[in-house]
Protein backbone atom coordinates (compact mmCIF):
# COMPACT_ATOMS: atom_id res chain seq x y z
CA UNK A 1 0.00 0.00 0.00
CA UNK A 2 1.39 3.41 -0.89
CA UNK A 3 2.14 6.06 1.73
CA UNK A 4 -0.60 8.33 0.35
CA UNK A 5 -3.19 5.57 0.64
CA UNK A 6 -2.11 4.89 4.24
CA UNK A 7 -2.43 8.58 5.13
CA UNK A 8 -5.91 8.81 3.61
CA UNK A 9 -6.99 5.62 5.38
CA UNK A 10 -5.64 6.84 8.73
CA UNK A 11 -7.38 10.20 8.36
CA UNK A 12 -10.68 8.52 7.49
CA UNK A 13 -10.46 6.25 10.53
CA UNK A 14 -9.42 9.04 12.90
CA UNK A 15 -12.08 11.51 11.90
CA UNK A 16 -15.62 11.05 13.06
CA UNK A 17 -18.74 13.07 13.55
CA UNK A 18 -18.60 15.50 16.45
CA UNK A 19 -21.34 17.00 18.55
CA UNK A 20 -22.57 20.26 16.99
CA UNK A 21 -21.09 23.30 18.73
CA UNK A 22 -24.57 24.69 19.42
CA UNK A 23 -25.69 21.51 21.28
CA UNK A 24 -24.61 21.30 24.93
CA UNK A 25 -22.94 18.06 25.97
CA UNK A 26 -25.34 15.63 27.64
CA UNK A 27 -24.59 14.06 31.02
CA UNK A 28 -24.28 10.29 30.57
CA UNK A 29 -24.11 7.39 33.00
CA UNK A 30 -23.97 3.61 32.59
CA UNK A 31 -24.92 1.21 35.38
CA UNK A 32 -26.27 -2.22 36.13
CA UNK A 33 -30.04 -2.27 36.60
CA UNK A 34 -29.75 -5.11 39.13
CA UNK A 35 -27.19 -7.19 41.00
CA UNK A 36 -25.78 -10.16 39.15
CA UNK A 37 -26.56 -13.64 40.48
CA UNK A 38 -24.60 -16.48 38.94
CA UNK A 39 -25.67 -19.28 41.29
CA UNK A 40 -23.95 -22.41 40.00
CA UNK A 41 -23.81 -21.16 36.40
CA UNK A 42 -20.94 -19.40 34.65
CA UNK A 43 -23.33 -16.99 32.91
CA UNK A 44 -26.38 -14.97 33.88
CA UNK A 45 -28.69 -12.35 32.33
CA UNK A 46 -27.59 -8.77 32.90
CA UNK A 47 -29.56 -5.59 32.28
CA UNK A 48 -27.44 -2.49 31.73
CA UNK A 49 -29.03 0.97 31.83
CA UNK A 50 -27.64 3.95 29.92
CA UNK A 51 -28.95 7.26 31.29
CA UNK A 52 -28.79 10.60 29.48
CA UNK A 53 -29.63 14.00 30.91
CA UNK A 54 -30.19 16.49 28.08
CA UNK A 55 -28.42 19.79 28.84
CA UNK A 56 -29.15 21.14 25.34
CA UNK A 57 -31.92 23.45 24.15
CA UNK A 58 -33.02 20.90 21.53
CA UNK A 59 -34.19 17.28 21.83
CA UNK A 60 -31.48 14.61 21.71
CA UNK A 61 -32.30 11.19 20.27
CA UNK A 62 -30.51 8.08 21.49
CA UNK A 63 -30.03 6.06 18.27
CA UNK A 64 -27.77 3.20 19.35
CA UNK A 65 -25.95 2.02 22.44
CA UNK A 66 -23.25 -0.58 22.94
CA UNK A 67 -21.98 -1.84 26.29
CA UNK A 68 -18.97 -3.90 27.27
CA UNK A 69 -16.77 -4.43 30.32
CA UNK A 70 -13.15 -3.90 29.31
CA UNK A 71 -10.25 -5.24 31.34
CA UNK A 72 -12.27 -7.48 33.61
CA UNK A 73 -10.59 -10.68 34.81
CA UNK A 74 -13.05 -12.42 37.15
CA UNK A 75 -16.30 -11.62 35.35
CA UNK A 76 -17.69 -9.27 32.74
CA UNK A 77 -20.46 -8.30 30.37
CA UNK A 78 -20.37 -9.66 26.82
CA UNK A 79 -20.47 -6.85 24.26
CA UNK A 80 -24.05 -6.01 23.35
CA UNK A 81 -25.40 -3.42 20.89
CA UNK A 82 -28.98 -2.31 20.39
CA UNK A 83 -30.73 0.29 18.21
CA UNK A 84 -33.13 2.77 19.82
CA UNK A 85 -35.25 5.80 18.99
CA UNK A 86 -35.48 7.37 22.45
CA UNK A 87 -36.11 11.12 22.27
CA UNK A 88 -34.97 13.05 25.35
CA UNK A 89 -36.49 16.56 25.56
CA UNK A 90 -34.43 19.60 26.62
CA UNK A 91 -33.79 19.41 30.35
CA UNK A 92 -35.15 15.86 30.49
CA UNK A 93 -33.58 12.54 31.41
CA UNK A 94 -33.93 9.40 29.33
CA UNK A 95 -32.95 5.80 29.91
CA UNK A 96 -32.42 2.88 27.58
CA UNK A 97 -31.83 -0.68 28.76
CA UNK A 98 -29.62 -3.24 27.08
CA UNK A 99 -30.16 -6.92 27.81
CA UNK A 100 -26.78 -8.61 27.92
CA UNK A 101 -25.07 -11.69 29.32
CA UNK A 102 -22.58 -11.65 32.17
CA UNK A 103 -19.96 -14.40 32.34
CA UNK A 104 -17.59 -15.33 35.14
CA UNK A 105 -14.30 -17.20 35.31
CA UNK A 106 -14.08 -17.65 39.11
CA UNK A 107 -16.57 -19.02 41.62
CA UNK A 108 -16.89 -15.86 43.73
CA UNK A 109 -16.06 -12.71 41.73
CA UNK A 110 -15.14 -9.77 43.97
CA UNK A 111 -13.65 -7.15 41.67
CA UNK A 112 -15.66 -3.97 40.92
CA UNK A 113 -17.38 -4.07 37.53
CA UNK A 114 -16.12 -1.71 34.84
CA UNK A 115 -18.74 -0.80 32.23
CA UNK A 116 -18.15 1.16 29.03
CA UNK A 117 -20.99 2.42 26.87
CA UNK A 118 -20.68 3.90 23.40
CA UNK A 119 -23.83 5.89 22.66
CA UNK A 120 -24.80 7.20 19.22
CA UNK A 121 -26.83 10.40 19.52
CA UNK A 122 -28.67 12.71 17.14
CA UNK A 123 -29.67 16.37 17.54
CA UNK A 124 -29.93 19.45 15.36
CA UNK A 125 -29.54 17.35 12.20
CA UNK A 126 -26.21 15.80 13.25
CA UNK A 127 -25.15 12.41 14.64
CA UNK A 128 -22.23 11.80 16.96
CA UNK A 129 -20.93 9.35 19.56
CA UNK A 130 -20.24 9.74 23.25
CA UNK A 131 -18.30 7.21 25.35
CA UNK A 132 -18.79 6.80 29.10
CA UNK A 133 -16.92 4.48 31.46
CA UNK A 134 -18.10 3.61 34.96
CA UNK A 135 -16.56 1.47 37.67
CA UNK A 136 -18.74 0.30 40.56
* pTM of the predicted model as reported, rounded to 2 decimal places: 0.85
Domains delineated in the chain: 3-135 (2.60.40.10)
pLDDT tens per residue, range 33-84: 999 999 999 999 999 999 999 999 999 999 999 999 999 999 999 999 999 9
- The CB-side HSE value for 70 (13 A sphere, CA atoms) comes to 9
Task: Please report the pLDDT score of residue 7 as a whole number.
Answer: 46
Residues 6+ apart with CB under 8 A from 94: 51, 52, 54, 62, 86, 87, 88
pLDDT band at 9 (very low <50, low <70, confident <90, very high): very low
Predicted confidence band of residue 126 (pLDDT cuts 50, 70, 90): very high
Amino acid sequence: MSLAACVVLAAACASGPKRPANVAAPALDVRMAHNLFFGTSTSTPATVDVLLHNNADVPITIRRASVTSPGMGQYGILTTTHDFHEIVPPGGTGRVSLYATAVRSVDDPTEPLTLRATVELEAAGARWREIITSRR
